[in-house]
Structure formats: C-alpha cells, structure tokens
Amino acid sequence: MTVSSTRLLHPCSLPARLLMVAVLLFSAFPLPAQDWTYRVRPGDTLWDLGSRYLKPSVPWQHLQSHNRVSDPYRLPPGSQLRFPVAWLAVQPVPARVLALRGPVQVGDAARGGLRDVIEGELLTIGQHLVTGADASVTLVFADDSRLQLRENSRLRLDQLSRYGHTGMVDTRVRLQQGRTSNRVTPATGPASRYIIDAPTATSSVRGTVFRVSAGGDGRSAATEVLQGKVQVGNPRGQRLVTRGQATRSTSQDTRPGALEPLLPAPLLDPAQLRLDPLPAPVAWTAVDGAAHYRVEVVRADQPEILLFAQDTTATTLTVPDLAPGTLRVLVRAVSADDVEGLDAEHDFEVRDQPPPPLTVRPVNQETVNSARPRFQWSQVDGAAASVLQIARDAQFLDPVLEQQSTSPHARPATNLAPGAYFWRVASCDGNGHRGRFGHPVALTLTDAPVDPALQPPQAAKGQVTLRWQAGETGQRYRVQIDRKGDFATPLLDREVDQPEVSLKRPWHGTLHVRVQYIDDDGYAGPFSPAQQVALPCRTCYGAGGGALLLWLLL
C-alpha cells in the first residue's frame, strides 16, 4: 500500500493562513491580465525595448512572439505592446529618509542592535525602524509614495522593488507597533503594490491617503481612509474601506470589523488662529464621541513631514515655536476605540525675515531694580520697527507685555510687578511683517530701591563731600538731604552728573540722605532708602587741609 506524501492543509494551519492572505491580496484589486502595456514611440525597436524592460534571461524574440509582431523592424507608433509582468526586470530600490523628528533608530536583523537614523539615509529590505516617545520619521519609496511613522512605533521593510523603467513598484512593510500615515501615489500598472501588514490585518492599496494602527494594549488595530479606497483583509475575510470610513481588527481569527464612519473634523475657532508669531494657541469646538484630540503641525507642501504632535483632552492647545515656512495645523477627534477622525486644517506662515535683533541689556540672569527697566537691542538693517515681548515663561505662552518701538530700545508702558521674567525682541519690515523672535533672556525685577552705598563723608577746607556708588554710563543722580527724614522740605535737592555732592557750609548734627538714579532718557528710578550721616560741630572742620572721615549711621 502506497501512502502519498501530500497532505491536505488544515484551514487554521500557518501555511493555509498565509495562502489565504495571499489570495486576499491578489483579489483585492482584480487584474484582468498580468501584462504591462507599452505604447510604441517613433524609433522604437523590439530589441531596444527588450533590453530596456525585460530580464536578461528573456530574449526579445519572446516579446515578438507574445505580441504576434510580424516585422520586428517596423513597429507602428501609437500601437501597444504587452509585456508579461513575470518577464519584467525587477531591481531593489531603497527607501529614503525624508525627515526626522526626535529619536529614531534603525536596526538590521543580520547585524543586530540599533543605531540612530540620519536624514537622507537609504534603507533597504529587512531593516526596521523604531521611534521614540516624541518622534517621527518620513520615508519616500521608489514611486514617491510616502509613509510617516509616528511616535512609539516599530516598522519593518519587507519588500522594496521596482519593475525597471515601467513606473511600477512593489512596496510592502510590516507595522509591528504604533501608527503610520500614508500618501500613496496612484498605481501605474497591474503589478504596482503598496501593502501594510499589521498584526491582525493587511491593508492593500493602489493610490490613496490612509492611516493604519497596529493596535495592542487591549486596543484593536484600525485602518482609517481619508482619500481613495483600501482593501483590508485577513484569513477570515476582507473589507473594502472608502473615504471617511474605518474598520477595526481584533485578531487574525476574526474578520475585520464592520465599516464605521470617522468622527467629523472639529470646527476651528477663527479667533484663535493667529499663529504668527509662535507660540500661539489654537482652539476648536468639542466633537461628540471624542475621547481626546490629536493636534499636529506639518509642512503645507509636504504634509507627511511631521513637525509637532500632541494629544490632549482639552479643546485648546498652544503650538510651540517652529522653524519658518508655510505650515499646516491639523486637529482631529479620537474615539474611545482609538480611531482617529477627519482633519480640520489651517495653513499659516511662520516668517524668518527680517531677522531678530541681538539683545544688549538687561543681560541674561540679571537682577534689575526697576518696575520699568530699559531694554536695549541692536539695530537690524531693513527693519522699520521692533516688537518687545515680556513673559513669565520662556515659551511666551501668555505674554504680560507686547509693545512696538521704532528705536532699538524701550521701556515697558506700565510698571511690572517684582519677580522672574523673560524678554525677547522681533523685527518688523516696512510693510508691518514681523520676523521671528530672538532667544529669550531671563531677568529678575525687584522693587527694593538701589542702595547707593554712601561712603563716609570727607571734610576739608570748611566743606563736607558725600560720595556714593556710581551707576551705569550716562546716568545722572538726584541727591536729597533732610534733617527730619521725611524729605518734605529738604535742605538740599540737587541733580548732579557725578556720584558726589559737596556742601560748602555744612550743618552739624544728624542728616538724612537719599539718592535717585536718572537714566539718560530721563527715566528716574525710586529713591534709595534714607541713610543717616552724623556731623560734628562746625568748629570741628577747621581750616586745615587734612580730611576728617566721619561715620555713617545705618
């Protein structure tokens, strides 16, 4: 008795499941003929076309026979030649790293370990990408299709090939963890493929915009379609998902879930869309069924390049400072099942011209004794004005002051309370366009009056000289001397250029002295705390030339 070595495949066995997935993929977009069609151009010959498109092992005579060409020297322009896909030359084409944000690493199964990814790097079949908690990477494939791998994700490159010069590509990736956003170039022939394998389902497309999540942690995998169609399948069945729809997959043993509509796009608040300069808030209306919201900022010309992303349960969020350019903010609602909805979009411009001035004073970490300190910066060529901003936080999320100045210096229009602040300056051109702000400078304001540190008085030749600590270059001084200490009717009230004053006929007894510093623009700070000077009797001065040092009573 002879026993056949061939066995029937159990429907739940691994080979059977792989076979069923393959059948689903090839049935997702039916191919009436496995031929690629070429339209003949003037001057074409069969041997030239054969060397350009066919595998080296396939002679051009096969092409003549397949198309029943009687005269290989005469190909009518405009006629069509059919190339069997199996005969076409296939070359591996690496994926290019278009953009990076945050920590992204790449690994190779053959070498082991991970290393940092470099922008512009070429990645090949078998490599895998891993993104960090606040990171993303954008890949470009052979046909300019683009994949954005989001934070906390892991992706393996399974197939990256091109059918010679036909324009057809075969791109297959495996999403092992996290999320991707995809913009797929429309297919140019029957062999073009763009396939994402997730743990519970496979998504196959021929040109569309869609998102895929791998699921995990008790959540279902999901495919969300924004444009076009996506065929989602596993060994238990398939779903054709169209624009504005999603399907969730819980496991390979269950058919992808019924189609469900994506949550609608939130309505953006136009009053909160002034996004130049950044940081700036963006707000939107609540969406029924939303568990939270996702806010992203992308390049307007290449929306697959992610510049900023954050999830929030609130209906407002502050967009941080970003690189200049034409940008797009996206806001979408996310359901409790972690299915992301349609995007609300708003384009805005972040300018970098004119450049910001260089800050002069106060310097970083300086303590300033003034409620209205003087801020100074450099003059920028081509700038018609400057904008001064002061805030309590280095991100300037809620500035306490913003004012414009046509000079490279300014004082706050109102008094500032004591405390820690940051200040920065931007330039404006003649049309009122504001450039980016410069780096923030930290300072501390105090309302404690400046202590002039009076030196002991010097007596000589019948007069007494009082000296105190000098201020900044260009400052003047107002000195007051009083007997009672209330300075209602001071004995002396004088402005001087130098930090000293001399009394030709000094009084005796205890005097009260205070000093006020006056800036070169006329701004006068508060008087210093009064200090007491004890003078001896007038006869003690004498007419001698020696100086008598007197003590200062604090």
Give domain limits for the chain.
33-87, 92-261, 270-350, 359-445, 458-553
pLDDT in tens, 372-390: 998 999 988 889 999 999 9
Place of tokens 């763009």: 194
* CA dihedral angle for residue 396, residue 399, residue 405, residue 409, rounded to 10 degrees: -70
Supply the pTM of this predicted model: 0.69
Q: What is the pLDDT of residue 530?
A: 85
Among the listed residues 390, 380, 371, the one whose alpha carbon sits nearest the alpha carbon of residue 441: 390
The per-residue pLDDT for 537 is 59
pLDDT over 90 at 434, yes or no: no
Q: What percent of the chain has pLDDT over 70?
A: 88
- Considering the four listed CATH numbers 3.40.50.300, 2.60.40.10, 3.30.420.10, 1.10.260.40, the one that applies to the domain covering 359-445 is 2.60.40.10
Mean pLDDT of all residues belonging to the chain: 86
8 A C-beta contact, residue 409 and residue 374: yes
pLDDT tens across 128-143, in order?
999 999 999 999 999 9
Answer whether CATH 2.60.40.10 is correct for domain 270-350: yes
Q: Average pLDDT, stretch 41-56? A: 92
Q: What is the pLDDT of residue 538?
A: 53
User: Which pLDDT tens digit goes with each residue over 328-356?
Assistant: 999 999 999 999 999 999 999 887 788 88
| Fold exhibited by the domain 92-261 | Jelly Rolls (2.60.120)
| pLDDT at 540 > cutoff 70 | no
C-alpha dist (Å) from residue 364 to 379, 404, 440: 19, 22, 9
The answer, yes or no, to whether residue 11 has pLDDT greater than 70, is no
According to the model, what pLDDT value does residue 73 have?
A: 82
505: confidence class by pLDDT, cuts 50, 70, 90: low
pLDDT for position 104: 96
Give the model's pLDDT for residue 226: 97
Is residue 491 a contact partner of residue 344, using CB atoms and an 8 Å limit?
no
Q: What is the DSSP string of 130-180?
A: EE-TT-EEEEE-TTS-EEEE-TT-EEEEEEEEE-TTSS-EEEEEEEEESEE
Q: Which residue has the tokens 């209602």?
A: 488
Q: What is the mean pLDDT of residues 534-542?
A: 57
Strand-by-strand arrangement of the 409-410 sheet: 359-361, 375-377, 409-410
Number of Cβ within a 10 Å radius of residue 26: 12
In this structure, whether the domain defined by 33-87 belongs to CATH 3.10.350.10 is answered with yes
pLDDT on residue 15: 44
- Side-chain-side CA neighbours of 296 within 13 Å: the count stands at 25
Reported residue count of the chain is 554
447 band by pLDDT with thresholds 50, 70 and 90: confident
Q: What pLDDT does residue 146 have?
A: 97
- Kindly tell me if the per-residue pLDDT of 551 is higher than 50: no
pLDDT band per the 50, 70, 90 thresholds, residue 461? low
Q: Per residue in 241-273, pLDDT tens?
A: 999 999 999 998 999 999 999 999 999 998 888
Enumerate the β-bridge partners of residue 99: 138
Stated as kind and residue range, the H or E segment containing 492 is strand 492-496
| Fold of domain 458-553 | Immunoglobulin-like (2.60.40)
- Does position 30 have pLDDT exceeding 50, yes or no? no
Q: 270-350 and 458-553: same fold?
A: yes
